[in-house]
Structure 1
Amino acid sequence: MTLDEKLAQLVGFWVDQGDEVVAPMAGEMASSSVYADATVHGLGQLTRVYGTRPVDPIERAAWLWNEQRRLVRETRLGIPALVHEECLTGLAAWQAATFPTPLAWGAAFDPGLVERMGTLIGESMRALGVHQGLAPVLDVIRDPRWGRVDECIAEDPYVVGVLGTAYVRGLQSTGVHATLKHFVGYSASQAGRNHAPVHAGPREIADVFLPPFEMAVRDGGARSVMNSYAEIDGMPVAATPAYLTGILRDEWGFDGTVVSDYFSVAFLETMHAVARDRGEAAQLALEAGIDVELPTGDAFGAPLAARVRAGLLDEEIVDRAVQRVLTQKEELGLLDATFDDPPSSIDLDSAAHRAVARRLAEESVVLLSNDGVLPLTSPSRVAVIGPNADSAEALLGCYSFVNHVLAHHPETPMGLDIPTLAASLVDELPDAAVTVVRGCEVEGEDRSGFAEAESAARAADVVIVAVGDRAGLFGRGTVGEGNDVLSLELPGVQRELVERLVATGAPVVLVVLSGRPYAIDWALSGESAVAAAAQAFFPGEEGGRAIAAVLSGTVSPSGRLPVSLPRSAGAQPFTYLHPILGGPNDITSADSTPALPFGHGLTYTSFAREGLRVAREVAAGGAFTATVRVRNTGWRAGTDLVQLYARDVHGSVTRPVAQLLGFVRVELGAGDEATVDFDVPTARLAFTGRDGERIVEPGTVELWVGPSCAERETEAVVEIVGDLHRVTAADERLVRSTVVQRRQADAAAPSDR
């Protein structure tokens, strides 16, 4: 291969953008080359063929097949391009199914269902000739002010790792490569601002931010990783070999490709100022371990070629990346692909897609409070009020095609059936007279609709008020990439609307449709308290129907908070995994206690968790079984999320006051009970010691099971004995394979991971 042919394999090209600019710098970058000239020596990747503007999938597939044939026929080496697309909430293409956002996956705590979703997404992508998906996001939530919280799964790294790995397995089972992002530390940005510096020590990086990626690499076999935009302690990740090579490849054995986040190579020059020009930026990134520049080759193209020819960079570094790229293409079957016939028809939103989207949405709705008004019991008059009540866009995250791309094409129909919450309530309550009033917008100060909303509330038996976010990007919306906030109050005048409705005396059910948790403690208690409150994190195309079914009682709520519900922005960043000094105490007047804790969620029945049992001792490096009995003590069937927590009482470094060791969803009929066994390797309690190595220390560990991290309903103690254990690669695989076995009515049931 010539140098030009090698470098051609290391870049993408964002073809056919038209006038759309869906990301900062996109227009500038895409116009810097002409596509025909850029592919003379071949091409590494095609960027977002389906996901840049609304195109008919079948017509676009025909174009793509022809283009792949051209690359095979007209370039000397005849190597097709790898095609990548966004797929965080489903394939980001016109007419493709839109699933709940990842924060809703976290609320559902159902890895099996997430894996099934990943499989369906991968099947759609593969059918359209797409080979790599830019998902999942494995950033651990630290600060809900950050706009990209709606792309994240949870504030617990174990939950992020389990669900993210499930998604990877599903997607890759179809022959589509998953891309883990954003490696690493991105979500710890200063003050919750996008692209801001990260101030995290090596222990926090190792014990909080790295584990989800390690799980997805070791257990999920992820084939691609995307770098973080962040700088950590002054060192941009895109130019830091310690992360992209030392940890990822040398320690974990990752042998796939590392792709740059969009424009992050150029950012080494323009935003981090650690490179004098694009050529030096390319060299820093390539030497650090980035193999492919996305979305275009503005640094890895001509600037890098000039640097190699000038003798400033050994061509062997280029060869290393080229070998990885060609290996990936071989794995995907591209080197032998014939591109015979493009699809002549395809259903990107089939009944199977809809069924999984509906179930995941139902499982993700979190009932925060309820004075008995829910489930609704045949109301005659229902007022459905609020800016998100009759909006399809309010159900979708920022990386959905509707909010990400169609926002630039208001003349184009959605291409999907997305019933709003209001429309779904009309269908769910056929005997009720449903009045729909907007009341106010998501943003702005306009209160002109308050009077109509109050009038509708006074005339109703029950009021459903839907508030929250409108997802978008870079200032277009209230949450999403680049939409960071200083306050965690509901945007605009939405709080005032809710308070005015409560003041009418009508029973008010608050539904928050959002991409981040808001400080709504005022709605949970006190004079402005609503009768019931439910949180839905952008539940996708079937979200309206799912919420309506939960409110009516057709579906019993089973979601749990994957992130603490904040009391104020001033307490951020916050995580339930804090040490003693991270919680409330008598030597500060600032209380960081959240309004509701991680793991909280109500149901329409009640559960008792009893008799937690565990062996008295376990060797450091070994494993133990924790057994608990769960009973449905209520009047109807329901699903409990059984949560096992631990506290390492004393450590050589400070330890969190609570840590989730395992979880499983258990469905029980009224009066039924189940026995749950958690098989827990002590490596689940490993941490980075004083010498920088991950260890399991001997000592006392408190265990408990309860309805959240904050409630100890049944408790036990286990003593870790023996010598200090240094964690090995085998331990890391073991900790990622914690199995939960369920036995109901004394009969063995299938195990869940």
Structure 2
Amino acid sequence: MTLAEKVAQLGSRWVGNDQTGAQEPAEEQLNVAPMQDVFSTAGAVSLEDASRHGLGQLTRVWGSVPLSFEEGAAEVVRQHRVVLAGSRLGVPALVHEECLTGFTTYGATVYPTALAWAATFDPELVERMATAIGQDMAAAGVHQGLSPVLDVVRDYRWGRVEESMGEDPYLVGILGSAYVRGLQSAGIVATLKHFAGYSASRAGRNHGPVSIGRRELLDVILPTFELAIATADAGSVMTSYSDLDGLPAGVDPWLFTQVLRDEWGFAGTVVSDYWAVPFLASMHRVAATADDAGALALAAGTDVELPDAIGFGAGLVKRVESGELSEDLIDRAARRVLLQKVQLGLLDPDWTPEGSVRVRDFDSAGNRALALELAERSVVLLDAGTALPLERLAPKRIAVIGPAAGDPRSFMGCYAFPNHVLPRYPDLGLGISVPTLFDALGKELPEVELVHERGSAVLGEDRSGFPAAVEAARGADLVIACVGDVSGLFGQGSSGEGCDAEDLRLPGVQGELVAALLDSGTPVVVVVVSGRPYALGEIAARAAGLVQAFFPGQEGGAAIAGVLSGRVVPGGKLPVQIPRQLGGQPGTYLQPPLGSVESAGISGLEATPLFPFGYGASYTTFEVGDLRLSADEIATDGSFDVTVQVRNTGVRGGDEVVQLYLHDVVAQVARPVKLLTGFARVRLEPGDAAEVVFQVHADRTAYSGPDLRRIVEAGEIEVLVGTSSAELPCRATVRITGATRVVGHDRTMVTPVEIRTRGTG
């Protein structure tokens, strides 16, 4: 290959970003990616010119504008043919798409958001979902999916909390790895993002600077990525936009070469986040020009620039020819890109553009059934109160009030196609059937008279709908108030990318609306449908029931209605805490003693959350007990089993999530009071019991010591088992003995779990 041909393999072209719909408004806020207008010069380059020497990737052929299957398939073939015609060697381009809540294309199933996956605590279910998503994408001729997000939540105000899988690294890593296995089983390369530290920005501000210590990075942020690479063989990693203590992640060779490649043995490709390469010049100002930025990113370890080749273009060729840049760096990246294309079959002699696309229904009955199963398992019952399930009260007339009750967009995240692209095409609707909560309740409760009032919008200060809402409440036996978020991009929603929150009060005047309904004298069940947790302390004290759903997808209405009626026994658990006050509690449960509830009294701010991490109520009851350890002392390279019994002591079949936490009693650095170390979702019928056995290796106690080496040391470890981070009735202590061990990427990262059903006893 010539130098120009090798460089071409490192670039991409976003043809769909140049297309605009006739109905598209002019507002830049409706862009489908950040800063796309800033780099509009890329749109001046035709696909023919961009692929004169070949091309690395085609960007979002399906995910940029609404296309029918026939139109999308034809466009995939057309773009491939352009690339092949202009390339001397005939190397096909790789096609990538978004897939955060399903295949992001017109008419495809919208699954729950990642935060809802996390609420299921069910990796097997997440893997099944990802497999279905991957199969749809593979049929569309797609090769790479830009998911999962493995950022650990550090501040609930961050707009992209909805895209994450919560605040615990082990939960995020296990579920993220399951997603990777599912997607890649269908032949789609999974892309871990955002590497690394993006979620730890100051004040939860998108693209904000990250003031993070190396230890927090090593022990909280990086393990999720490491686990997905070690246990699921993830094929790609995406760079973060953020700077870490002043150094942009994309130019940090410690991250992308020393850690990712040398220590972890990652052999896949590193792709830039959209425009992260030119951002090095325009936003971070660590480079003077886009060409300089390209050279810096390449040297640090980025292999492919997305979504268009700006820094990875002719400037790289000129630098090599002038001797400013080693051609070895070009060869290194090109070799990785071409190897991945070989693995995907793109260089097989029988591969053709036409053969890469197969007819498929992207919103099949099977997809929708899977989306419903996920949604039902993700709904978290915070408090049944006096009104739930509704079958107990048998109300004759229910007032369904709130902006989320009648808007199907309230169920979907910002990367779902109806929220991501279709606001630019208002006449097209949603492209799929998404029943509202009001519609779903009508189907769920056919004998009940339902009335609906919006009350207010999600955002804004308009209170003109309050009187009608209160009147409807007073005329009903029960109120279901459905409030929360609407997801969008860059200020077009209350949640989503670029939609960060000032504090954790319900957006707009929804808090006032709920207060007015609570004052009506009619019992009020509050349902929060959101992309982040909100402070619900004042509401919880007065509500007749409280339910949390994290953007449950297109089947979310049916799932929530089923939980409210009692047809579905809720089993979701919180992957993030529910705050009591607007900002008084710590951001996550991962706090050392000085920042946790143990330090109550040293600050005037309340440190206890309203509902803790891992919490979720049910319509049945469970007991966890009979803790047994296989050993009370192990070596620093040993292991022990933790066995508990969980029993359904109620009258309904249901699911419980048994959770294992470890507490390092004395360590060389300040450590979290407790860390989730294992979990198992167990289904039990009334009276049935099961034994849950966690196999804990000493490596699971490892942490970064004072010199930042990861160590397993002697000392006491408290073993805590229960049903949330705060409800841990089973406690014991294990002593670790022997010499301190330094452990690396080959350490044990997973706690295997065995469930032994015992039946009625």
TM-score (norm 1): 0.97
Q: Is the 8 A contact 2:634 2:737 kept in 1?
A: yes
Q: Name the counterpart of 2:377.
A: 363
Q: Any conservation in 2 of the 1:58–1:344 contact (CA below 8 Å)?
A: no
Q: After the TM superposition, which residues 58-207 of structure 1 pair with which residues of structure 2 at under 5 Å, given as runs? A: 58-207=70-219
Residue deviations 1:8-32 (CA, integer Å, cap 9, x gap): 1101100033137322332333424
- Distance in structure 2 (CA, Å) of the matches to 1:714 and 1:298: 57
Following superposition, the deviation at residue 505 of structure 1 comes to: 1.6
**Correspondence 1:278-289 to 2 at 5 A:** 278-289=290-301
Give yes or no for contact 1:612–1:704 (8 Å, CA) kept in 2: no
Q: What is the match of residue 454 of structure 2? A: 438
2:691 paired residue number: 675
Counterpart amino acid of 1:352? Answer: G
Give the distance between the partners of 2:16 and 2:59, measured in 1 at CA. 10
Q: 1:68 to 1:573 in 2, by over 3 A?
A: farther
2:291/2:310 contact within 8 Å kept? no
Contact 2:650 2:687 in 1 (8 A): yes
1:54-87 deviation line (CA, Å, top 9, x unaligned): 1112222122123323433442010111000000
Q: Aligned partners of 2:193, 2:557: CA distance in 1, in Å?
A: 29
Does the alignment pair 1:586 with 2:596? no
Hey, what's the Cα distance between the residues in 2 that align with 1:328 and 1:516?
Answer: 36
1:574–1:592 Cα contact (<8 Å) kept: no
Give the deviation of 1:621 after TM superposition.
Answer: 2.0
Secondary structure of 1:735's aligned partner: coil
Task: Report SS of the residue matched to 1:650.
Answer: coil
Task: For 2:159, give the aligned amino acid.
Answer: G
- Give the Å deviation of 1:594: 1.6
Cα distance in 2, alignment partners of residues 611 and 131 from structure 1: 49
2:229 is matched with 217
The corresponding residue for 2:758 is 745
Cα displacement string for residues 479-505 of structure 1 (whole angstroms, at most 9, x for unaligned residues):
110111111100111011111111112
Deviation at 1:44, TM superposition (A): 0.6
Contact 1:364/1:560, CA 8 A, preserved across alignment: yes
Equivalent AA in structure 2 for residue 247 of structure 1: V
Residue 62 of structure 2 contacts residue 97 of structure 2 at CA under 8 Å; is this kept in 1?
A: yes
User: 1:563 aligned to 2:540?
Assistant: no
CA distance in structure 1 between the aligned counterparts of 2:8 and 2:465, rounded to whole angstroms: 57
Bigger shift: residues 297-306 or 15-24: 15-24
SS at match of 1:518: coil
Separation in structure 2 between the aligned mates of residue 595 and residue 573 of structure 1, nearest angstrom: 12
Q: CA deviation at 1:153?
A: 0.3
Which residue of structure 2 lines up, in the alignment, with residue 23 of structure 1?
A: 33
Q: Residue type matched to 1:7 in 2?
A: V
Residue 142 of structure 1: CA displacement?
Answer: 0.5
What letter matches 2:519 in structure 1? A
Give the SS at the match of 2:575. Answer: coil
Cα distance change of structure 1 residues 144 and 572 upon mapping to structure 2, 3 Å threshold: farther
What one-letter code is carried by the residue in structure 2 that aligns with 1:16? G
The answer to whether the Cα contact below 8 Å between 1:628 and 1:675 also exists between their aligned partners in 2 is yes
Give the equivalent residue in structure 2 for 1:305. 317
What is the distance in 2 between the residues matched to 1:293 and 1:344? 28
How far apart, CA to CA, are the structure 1 residues paired with 2:663 and 2:451? 50
Is 2:544 aligned against 1:531?
A: yes
Q: Which amino acid aligns with 1:12?
A: S
Indicate whether 1:548 and 2:561 are aligned: yes
Alpha-carbon distance in 1 for matches of 2:516, 2:291: 59
Q: Which residue of 2 aligns with 1:230?
A: 242
The whole-number CA distance in structure 2 between the counterparts of 1:491 and 1:66 is 44
Does the 8 Å CA contact 1:621/1:727 hold for their aligned counterparts?
no
Distance 2:664 2:357 in 1: 56
Q: Which residue of structure 2 aligns with residue 457 of structure 1?
A: 473
CA shift for structure 1 position 344: 6.4
Paired amino acid for 2:590: L
How far did 1:304 drift? Answer: 2.1
Structure 2: distance between partners of 1:275 and 1:294: 18
How many corresponding residue pairs? 741
Unmatched 5+ stretches in structure 2: 22-30
Shift in Å at residue 689 of structure 1?
Answer: 0.8
Report the equivalent of 2:272.
260
The alpha-carbon deviation at position 563 of structure 1 amounts to 0.6
Matched residue of 1:745: which SS? strand
Structure 1 Cα separation of the partners of residues 16 and 144 of structure 2: 19
Is residue 585–residue 606 contact of structure 2 (8 Å, CA) maintained in 1? no
> d(CA) in 1 for partners of 2:302 and 2:723?
43
Q: Tell me the SS of whatever aligns to 2:680.
A: strand
How far residue 343 of structure 1 moved from its aligned partner, in angstroms, is 4.6
CA drift at 1:338: 2.3
Aligned counterpart in structure 1 of residue 616 of structure 2, from 577, 598, 601: 601
2:32 maps to amino acid: V
Report the CA distance between 1:342 and its aligned residue. 6.0
The counterpart of 2:749, out of the listed 719, 725, 735, is 735
Q: Deviations over 1:677-732 (max 9, x none)?
A: 1111121111001121111111111112222111221211111122212213332x
How far does the alpha carbon of each residue in 1:96-155 deviate from its partner, in whole angstroms, 9 at most, with x for none? Answer: 111000000111100000000000000000001000000000000000100011000010
Describe how 1:323-722 pairs up with structure 2 within 5 A: 323-336=335-348, 337-341=351-355, 343=357, 345-377=359-391, 378-525=394-541, 529-571=542-584, 574-583=587-596, 584-614=599-629, 615-722=631-738
Amino acid at match of 1:597: P
| Distance in 1 separating the partners of 2:401 and 2:481 | 5
The 8 Å contact of residues 419 and 541 in structure 1, kept in 2 or not, is answered as: yes
Conserved? CA contact 1:48–1:86, under 8 Å: yes
Whole-Å separation in 1 of the counterparts to 2:480 and 2:35:
42
The residue type equivalent to 2:377 in the other structure is: E
Question: Counterparts of 2:372 and 2:354 in 1: how far apart (Å)?
Answer: 36
Residue 569 of structure 1: CA displacement? Answer: 4.3
Q: Counterpart of 1:751? A: none
CA offsets per residue over residues 146-191 of structure 1, 9 Å max, x none? Answer: 0011000010000000000000000000111000000011100011
Report the Cα distance in structure 1 between the residues aligned to 2:56 and 2:745, rounded to whole angstroms. 33
Whole-Å separation in 1 of the counterparts to 2:81 and 2:289: 36
Moved more, 633-642 or 579-588: 579-588
Task: Determine if the alignment matches structure 1 residue 54 to structure 2 residue 66.
Answer: yes
Counterpart residue identity of residue 604, structure 1: Y
CA separation in 2, counterparts of 1:438 and 1:71? 51
Q: Relative to structure 1, is the Cα distance of residues 60 and 137 closer, same or farther in structure 2, using a 3 angstrom cutoff?
A: same
Select between 60-69 and 412-421 the one with higher mean Cα deviation.
60-69
Deviation at 1:673, TM superposition (A): 1.2
| Contact 1:58/1:343 (<8 A) preserved | no
Provide the rounded CA distance (Å) in 2 between the counterparts of 1:300 and 1:266: 10
Distance 2:474 2:113 in 1: 35
> What are the Cα deviations for residues 532-577 of structure 1, in whole angstroms up to 9, with x where unaligned?
1100000001100000001111110100110111234434762211
Distance across 2 between alignment mates of 1:286 and 1:75: 23
In the TM superposition, structure 1's runs of 4+ consecutive aligned residues that sit over 6 Å from their partners are none
Question: Which residue in 1 is equivalent to 2:24?
Answer: none
What SS does the aligned partner of 1:465 have?
strand
1:585, distance to aligned residue in structure 2 (A): 2.9
Letter in 1 for 2:3: L
Residues of 1 paired with 2:230 and 2:743: CA distance? 15
1:283/1:344 CA distance change after superposition, 3 Å: closer
* Whole-Å separation in 2 of the counterparts to 1:501 and 1:63: 51
Written as runs of structure 1 = structure 2, the 5 A alignment for 1:1-20 is 1-17=1-17, 18-19=19-20
TM-score, normalised to structure 2, is 0.96
**Aligned residue identity for 1:25:** M
- Given the alignment, which residue of 306, 326, 340 partners 1:294? 306
Whole-angstrom distance in 2 between the partners of 1:343 and 1:187 = 36
Distance 1:572 1:629 in 2: 33
Q: Distance in 2 between matches of 1:627 and 1:579?
A: 27
Q: Aligned-residue CA RMSD in angstroms?
A: 1.4
